[in-house]
Amino acid sequence: LIESVRLRPILDSRGNKTVEADIETASGGFGRAAAPSGASTGEHEAVERPVEEAIAAAREHAIPRLEGAAYVGDQREIDQILHAADGTEDFSEIGANSAVAISMAAAKAAADVLGAPLYQHLGGAFRGRSFPTPLGNIIGGGEHAAEATAIQEFLAAPIGAPSIRDAVFANAAVHQTAGELLRDRGEAPAKGDEGAWAPSITEDVAFEIMAEATDSVADSFGFEIGFGLDVAAAELYEDGAYQYGTDSKSTAEQIEYVAEMVREYDLVYVEDPLDENDFDGFAELTDQVGDRTLICGDDLFVTNTARLAEGIERGAANSILIKPNQIGTLSDTVDAVELAQRSGYDPVISHRSGETEDTTIAHLAVATDAPFIKTGAVGGERTAKLNELIRIGDGTS
Ligand code: PGA
Ligand code: ZN
């Protein structure tokens, strides 16, 4: 039984305030979790409210319904209470930031009461048998860094790694190697919000560096490392075209460009190649290259089962990005994962560009047998998750 729910503002990795929740149970269980925050947010996401407002609203509407009234082990009931307390479709009253922090803190408190690791509580006895391949952000720009590539993320994908630890170390090595290659070209790259290098180079040069860095690390590690993209195309879409600096592409040209890059570089993964409302464009690209690469909807689906169901119906993709704060509760998040898995869509569990030391998504990825997790390559708020995956792999978490 929940004895207390405390909310407080803490810092995220961008130095912005975010919501942290502490939950204590009558039996002495404790769970703590914090909400992440996006920069290239989808227009259909649940609403992140200003932190002080989200905390005040949750204190007024949600906490009185939880304290002394709900059991942390009953995640669905807790998440229903959050919805009822909020009373809107998109958490615009208590804020998805308050909701997701409370929802995740409850799961952690439940795991604590059980004396089990979080992934085991979330996944049960029959899940958590495999490890996700980490997609490591190596070079990028978009909304995460000014004056860098238009494409938001160039992601290393160590698909041949024999263990999570090898995969995590390989991504870090690709990051270091790419940094050296950039310096060799006279670039002095800063890092963007997720720790990726953010040089002022063209997409063409970024593709070349990714190919060279992943090949070189694959050679020394002895397993296959591919790469992929998060185009975050909704952020490029203006006046009916995709804007790449001075270059502009129509929808047909954008589809042709991405399909060409998939073939030329054997891309493992392409997220949000088209605008967040262009189900038809997504379907066209998936039709062309979906047999050889994951076409993943992030801003397109926003971890929302209704939007995912529409995408499945229309053949819009073959993969979905999963971000708990896009939908506001763990129950809704797991519903999206399960609908995806039933429909042959690969779920990719993901961080946000604004993060904390919270490691819930590492456990969620293991608990759901997700084939991929996207949580950066370097930087403390990213390595918090990656190192947690290494610990889980080592059986010590
Ligand atoms: P965001 O970016 O957290 O800024 O939305 C991550 C992504 O687009 O995948
Ligand atoms: Zn994205």
Q: Encode pLDDT of 358-387 as tens digits.
A: 999 999 999 999 999 999 999 999 999 999
Find how far residue 140's CA is from the centre of its chain.
Answer: 15
Query: What pLDDT was estimated at residue 124?
Result: 87
Burial of 115 (0-12, 13-18, 19+ CB in 10 A): exposed
Q: If you measure from the C-alpha of residue 255 to the centroid of ligand 1, how many angstroms do you get, rounded to a whole number?
A: 21
Q: If you measure from the C-alpha of residue 98 to the centroid of ligand 1, how many angstroms do you get, rounded to a whole number?
A: 19
Q: What is the mean pLDDT of residues 176-195?
A: 96
Has 212 been annotated as catalytic?
no
Q: Encode pLDDT of 66-117 as tens digits.
A: 999 999 999 999 999 999 999 999 999 999 999 999 999 999 999 999 999 9
Query: What pLDDT was estimated at residue 396?
Result: 61
* 17-25 vs 2-11, strand pairing mode: antiparallel
How big is the CA angle at 333 (ends 325 and 360), to the nearest 5 degrees? 65
Q: Encode pLDDT of 301-322 as tens digits.
A: 999 999 999 999 999 999 999 9
Give the three-state DSSP class for 23.
Answer: strand
Query: What pLDDT was estimated at residue 128?
Result: 74
Across all residues in the chain, what is the average pLDDT? Answer: 97
Q: What is the DSSP letter of 299?
A: T
Q: Are 196 and 139 in contact (CB under 8 A)?
A: yes
What Å distances lie between residue 178 and 172, 273, 357, CA to CA?
Answer: 10, 23, 25
Catalytic residue among 24, 323, 381, 385: 323
CA–CA separation, 3 and 231 (whole Å)? 44
Task: Name the strands in the sheet holding 241-244, side by side, starting at the edge strand that comes first in the sequence.
Answer: 237-238, 241-244, 247-249
Residue 210 clears pLDDT 60, i.e. is over it: yes
CA–CA separation, 367 and 174 (whole Å)? 27
Residue 127 clears pLDDT 90, i.e. is over it: no
Residue 397 clears pLDDT 60, i.e. is over it: no
**Encoded amino acid at 276, one letter:** E
Whether residue 288 is annotated as binding a ligand: the answer is no
Return the ligand 1 atom nearest residue 143 CA: 4
Instruction: For ligand 2, an ion, list residues with CB under 5 A.
Output: 230, 298
Q: If you measure from the C-alpha of residue 291 to the centroid of ligand 2, how many angstroms do you get, rounded to a whole number?
A: 21
Query: What pLDDT was estimated at residue 395?
Result: 78
Q: Encode pLDDT of 7-43 as tens digits.
A: 999 999 999 999 999 999 999 999 999 999 999 899 9
Which residue is associated with the tokens 């509760």? 329
Our answer on whether the CB atom of 41 is closer than 6 Å to any ligand 1 atom is yes
CA–CA separation, 366 and 370 (whole Å)? 7
Q: If you measure from the C-alpha of residue 41 to the centroid of ligand 2, how many angstroms do you get, rounded to a whole number?
A: 8
Our answer on whether the CB atom of 298 is closer than 6 Å to any ligand 1 atom is yes
Our answer on whether the CB atom of 230 is closer than 6 Å to any ligand 1 atom is yes
Q: Are 296 and 272 in contact (CB under 8 A)?
A: yes
Q: Encode pLDDT of 289-298 as tens digits.
A: 999 999 999 9
Residue 393 clears pLDDT 70, i.e. is over it: yes
Q: Are 374 and 351 in contact (CB under 8 A)?
A: yes
Catalytic residue among 20, 24, 48, 194: 194
* pTM for the whole structure: 0.97
Rg (the chain; Cα; Å): 20
* 269-271 vs 2-11, strand pairing mode: unpaired
Has 338 been annotated as catalytic?
no
